[in-house]
Structure 1
Amino acid sequence: MALSKLIGGRVEETQAKRERRKEARPGELLDAALDLFVEKGFAATKSEEVAARAGVSKGTLFLYFPSKEELFKAVVRENISGRFQEWNQEFERFEGSSADMVRYCMKVWWERVGMTRASGITKLIISEARNFPDIAAFYQQEVIRPGQDLLRRILQRGVDRGELHVPDIEYAAYLITASMVFLIMGKHSLGACVPTDHPLDAERYLSCHMETMLRGLCTRPEDNDKGAGRNRK
């Protein structure tokens, strides 16, 4: 009886480990895929390479993601587009001035995306979008449009509260996006052209860009931090 219990316990333990391993596989596959997509690009990354790096068979990979395109989409959702619900909720709860909200938006983007491996996804899209129109359309729908919508909401909030003067909200949103793209390209491509004795400081750049832009948008630039535009008669 004791032996049978011991054997049964070991079987259950083995099954439990297998279940935990099975649950971990999608995350491990997405992590491996992100690394390879950023390192090699979409076209050059092979499904079997992703499987090998995650320590599983190619067949196991296809159980979770039936094609490389679906794998890429899952990587984008896991690292970028899946976060827009969270970011929009933060927008709803934000209590500071609209200028502070713009600053916070850029700070959060840099900390959660820009300075992480996920920033390489944008560089990949810029490089390969014309060769893979379906991937480009997906990225536009899941990342670019929600991102621009959120930035427009932030700027519209500033206009409605009398804190910002924005002649063209749609294109002002592009001004913010441009700084993100510049840093990503600097990190993954253009950085190789920057003198080693004068490296680009991302946080310093973002701060300079935001302050320069905000002083052009605020109704009273000298009172930007105070949000004094709300009190003008």
Structure 2
Amino acid sequence: MYLTRFRINTGRVGARKLLASPQTMHAAVMTSFAEPPAPGGNGPRVLWRLDADGNSATHLCIVSPLRPDLTHLVEQAGWPTTARWDTFDYTPFLQRLTPGDTWSFRLTANPVHSIRRNPGEPTKVTAHIGPAHQLGWLLKQQEKGGFRVSEKPPGKQLIPGHDTHDLLIHGRRQLRFAKKGNKDQVTVVAVTFDGRLHVTDPGAFRATLTRGLGRAKAYGCGLMTLAKD
């Protein structure tokens, strides 16, 4: 597995085209591989995410089973004469994960649930909009995902009984686009979770980090990355 980070030159026309369309960005990511991994299945997959920090820098993060070549992205959306990208061997880090490890994490995800508006109608996948429901979605992923989001002691809760987890939900984006060959618009609501977690099941957690969490993985959702706590 490999972890790659590439800074995007947002002043370039090519970069703006990529940032405006998750489909275009997905295609650009997948063409980073001579033989892209087949989608689906239970193995590791290509995951990507866009991060914008407070210094107006925008980075593309990629986790992939194969080492990517981002030459085309440097030429289209980077600094061709000075900038490259950083790729790290992710496997040794993944193998060192143990129960009880504590990490800061970032996850951009598409929190959804299935609802039935009227009896007898089929269920419909609908986005969670409010932070409380988005938090509830993340907490439901914990057991299967092999982690537990850190809880705040009562004395550190800004709103006792409500601000219960060491977590910030921000960066809500509503992505609308039409799939190729389909006139109907697709809508994806993406939010970013920044927080702290504890590893409970290293095997399941490795799957979370390499297969992604939730839906809309092709459109920049599902990738969780870690930093030292």
| TM-score of Structure 1 vs Structure 2, range by shorter chain | under 0.3
Quick check: which one's helix share is greater?
1
Quick check: which one's strand share is greater?
2
Computing the radius of gyration from Cα coordinates, the structure with the larger value is 1
Q: Which has the higher contact order (CA 8 A, sep 6+)?
A: 2
